């Protein structure tokens, strides 16, 4: 696009100088970095490609017969309805909670910041088991309640950060023009936090699509439960593959919606520096505190208290497997950390490219990475079983396969953190290091890598937290004779040994609380550095 300027000789074309965003580089990415990113994407996409190849190899008509069964349509409607309800619920709870934490004079705000993030440490199947044992909740609404409670932090955390960094001058202008506080917030602040709220809600939607534990406990016929039944029960290969492909397609629709939302989001305005005057709650102080306390009890207190009481009874009755519990805890932590390290390693080239360059090829690589983000654990486990048995049977049911599965499932979480962390480092700092004689790699590690390290570590923590709770892929891929806290918990609850299962649930929550707490502190520092 060009503009014209009038000089002595008449109009002459003048090129518009491109505006470079902070952290973007005008230099083409190095072939090595692009190759590393491509290899990471190929690894992430391999299970989906393999599913398609396997599906194409089924007997004529078998796939179509499985696809057009009335049961498949019913499962689709059930899953879509569940995703819609959970997404709406997380927004309805998460946005007001974030407003209380970020914009008001709520008492004990930092404490509530931590408590509203800790439900991330509660595995959905543990929360589901607790609610089933205490209430008559079952089926669709039981699944909705539990999934909303454990998924709301996906909305609360990013919206809180967005509210704390929002430009308040626009809201002040709206107030001076006669808008009331609600209308001013809706017209001036809501557009600024909409991308964060949408991204969080879509994460909750992806979590709902991939969840297996809650729908199985609540006996709600959703896709993940049907895939697991087809694989482990009747071992109907064609049906399992068809349901897996439909589930991946549904998840990819959500991923593409997330990408479209990010592309349509307006460029961020000025970032607020320093604290703004909080909104005084006045008479709403007590109701707000009661609301947060109720949500904390429902999301955190009910599962923790239920499991602690059952654990005490289990120890008193000598039902607890203390030695096996300790071994499972160690295995869980080691596998989670190994999966997080591999995911962060695979995410580095993708995140760096996405942060520094905005070309079609880089955008395509980043989009392809989200195949893993939309790939439910049960589908990945199914594809990894077939893949290892046909290509490298020697590594089947070894820790290597499980660590690789964790990395493929959760590398997009790490890539998003890498992209955000690297984009916050001005590219001029790296260029200055180059002028001082450092090589490109040396300059990156000395400047960008050093400054972006906290964000990269936060992404790895998120992967470790999620991997420790992962159930369906772990059930399929764990080495023979090896238990994690999640798999042993599921085995015991499956045979109604609830007392013996409770210590595993408590230990799993305690272990996962450490990265959840660190993530809440990191988000708080990023949102409010003062």
Per residue in 410-458, pLDDT (tens digit) is 888 888 788 878 877 788 887 887 788 887 778 778 888 888 888 888 8
Mean pLDDT, residues 311-326: 77
141 falls in which pLDDT band (50, 70, 90)? very high
Name the percent of the chain lying above pLDDT 70: 86
Distance CA 483, CA 291 (A): 38
On the question of pLDDT at 403 being above 70, the answer is yes
Distance, CA of 141 to CA of 152 (rounded, Å) = 16
pLDDT digits over 372-384, tens only?
666 667 778 878 8
CB atoms within 10 A of CB 193: 23
User: H-helix or E-strand containing 7?
Assistant: strand 2-7
Whole-number Å distance between alpha carbons of 455 and 126: 29
Confidence at residue 25, expressed as pLDDT on a 0 to 100 scale: 53
Whole-angstrom Cα Rg for the chain? 25
Q: What is the pLDDT of residue 380?
A: 84
* Residue 12 predicted with pLDDT over 80: no
Question: In order of start, what are the domains of the chain with their CATH numbers?
Answer: 27-271+282-527 (1.10.3720.10)
pLDDT at 274 over 50: no
Task: Give Dmax over CA atoms of the chain in angstroms.
Answer: 98
Summarised one tens digit per residue, pLDDT across range 19-48 is 344 445 545 667 888 888 888 888 888 887
Report yes or no: 467 and 410 within 8 Å, Cβ to Cβ. Answer: yes
Highest mean pLDDT: which range of 340-344, 418-422, 460-464, 520-524: 340-344
Task: Give mean pLDDT, residues 343-354.
Answer: 89
What stretch of H or E contains 492?
helix 485-494
User: 422 or 104, which is more confident?
Assistant: 104
Asked if 159 and 91 count as a contact pair (C-beta separation under 8 A), the reply is no
**In the predicted model, is pLDDT for residue 160 greater than 80?**
yes
Q: How many residues does the chain have?
A: 530
Average pLDDT (256-268) is 64
- What would the mean pLDDT of 258-277 be, rounded to a whole number? 58
The answer to whether the Cα torsion of 86, 92, 97, 103 is positive or negative is positive
Compute the distance between CA of residue 469 and CA of residue 512 in angstroms, rounded to an integer: 8
Distance (Å, rounded) from C-alpha 268 to C-alpha 382? 41
Task: Read off the pTM.
Answer: 0.80
For tokens 């896709």, the residue is 223
Residue 6 has pLDDT above 50, yes or no: no
Query: Per-residue pLDDT tens for 176-220?
Result: 877 777 777 777 788 888 878 887 888 899 889 888 889 988 999
> Are 269 and 75 contacting, i.e. CB atoms less than 8 angstroms apart?
no
Instruction: Give me the pLDDT at residue 522, please.
Output: 67
Mean pLDDT of all residues belonging to the chain: 81
- The Cα 210–Cα 205 span in angstroms is 9
Cα–Cα distance for residue pair 338/114, rounded to 1 Å: 26
Matching residue, tokens 């005084």? 280
């Amino acid at each position: 696009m060009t503009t014209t300027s009038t000089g002595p000789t008449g109009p002459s074309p003048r090129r518009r100088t491109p505006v470079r965003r902070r952290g973007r580089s005008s230099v083409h990415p190095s072939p090595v970095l692009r190759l590393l990113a491509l290899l990471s994407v190929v690894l992430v996409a391999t299970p989906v490609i393999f599913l398609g190849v396997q599906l194409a190899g089924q007997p004529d008509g078998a796939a179509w017969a499985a696809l057009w069964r009335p049961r498949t349509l019913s499962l689709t409607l059930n899953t879509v309805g569940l995703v819609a309800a959970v997404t709406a619920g997380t927004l309805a709870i998460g946005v007001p909670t974030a407003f209380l934490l970020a914009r008001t004079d709520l008492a004990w705000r930092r404490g509530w910041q931590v408590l509203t993030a800790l439900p991330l440490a509660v595995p959905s199947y543990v929360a589901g088991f607790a609610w089933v044992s205490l209430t008559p909740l079952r089926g669709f609404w039981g699944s909705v309640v539990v999934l909303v409670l454990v998924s709301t932090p996906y909305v609360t955390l990013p919206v809180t950060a967005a509210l704390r960094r929002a430009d308040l001058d626009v809201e002040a202008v709206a107030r001076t023009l006669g808008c009331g506080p609600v209308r001013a917030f809706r017209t001036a602040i809501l557009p600024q936090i909409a991308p964060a709220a949408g991204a969080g809600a879509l994460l909750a939607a992806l979590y709902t699509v991939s969840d297996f534990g809650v729908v199985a406990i609540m006996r709600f016929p959703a896709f993940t439960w049907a895939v697991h039944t087809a694989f482990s029960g009747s071992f109907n290969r064609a049906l399992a593959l068809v349901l897996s492909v439909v589930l991946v397609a549904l998840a990819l629709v959500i991923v593409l919606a997330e990408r479209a939302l990010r592309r349509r989001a307006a460029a961020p305005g000025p970032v607020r520096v320093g604290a703004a005057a909080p909104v005084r709650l006045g008479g709403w102080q007590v109701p707000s505190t009661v609301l947060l306390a109720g949500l904390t009890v429902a999301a955190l207190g009910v599962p923790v208290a239920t499991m602690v009481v059952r654990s005490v009874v289990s120890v008193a009755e000598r039902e607890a497997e203390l030695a096996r519990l300790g071994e499972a805890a160690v295995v869980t932590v080691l596998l989670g950390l190994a999966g997080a390290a591999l995911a962060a390693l695979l995410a580095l080239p993708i995140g760096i490219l996405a942060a520094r360059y905005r070309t079609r090829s880089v955008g395509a690589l980043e989009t392809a990475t989200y195949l893993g983000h939309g790939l439910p654990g049960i589908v990945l486990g199914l594809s990894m079983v077939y893949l290892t048995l046909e290509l490298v049977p020697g590594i089947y049911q070894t820790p290597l396969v499980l660590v690789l599965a964790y990395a493929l499932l959760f590398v997009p979480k790490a890539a998003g953190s890498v992209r955000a962390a690297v984009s916050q480092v001005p590219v001029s700092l790296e260029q200055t290091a180059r002028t001082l004689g450092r090589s490109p790699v040396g300059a990156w590690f000395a400047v960008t890598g050093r400054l972006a390290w906290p964000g990269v570590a936060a992404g790895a923590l998120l992967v470790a937290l999620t991997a420790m709770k992962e159930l369906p892929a772990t059930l399929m891929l764990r080495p023979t004779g090896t238990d994690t806290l999640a798999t042993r918990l599921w085995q015991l609850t499956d045979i109604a040994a609830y007392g013996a299962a409770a210590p595993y649930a408590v230990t799993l929550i305690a272990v996962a609380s450490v990265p959840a707490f660190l993530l809440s502190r990191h988000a708080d520092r990023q949102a409010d550095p003062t």
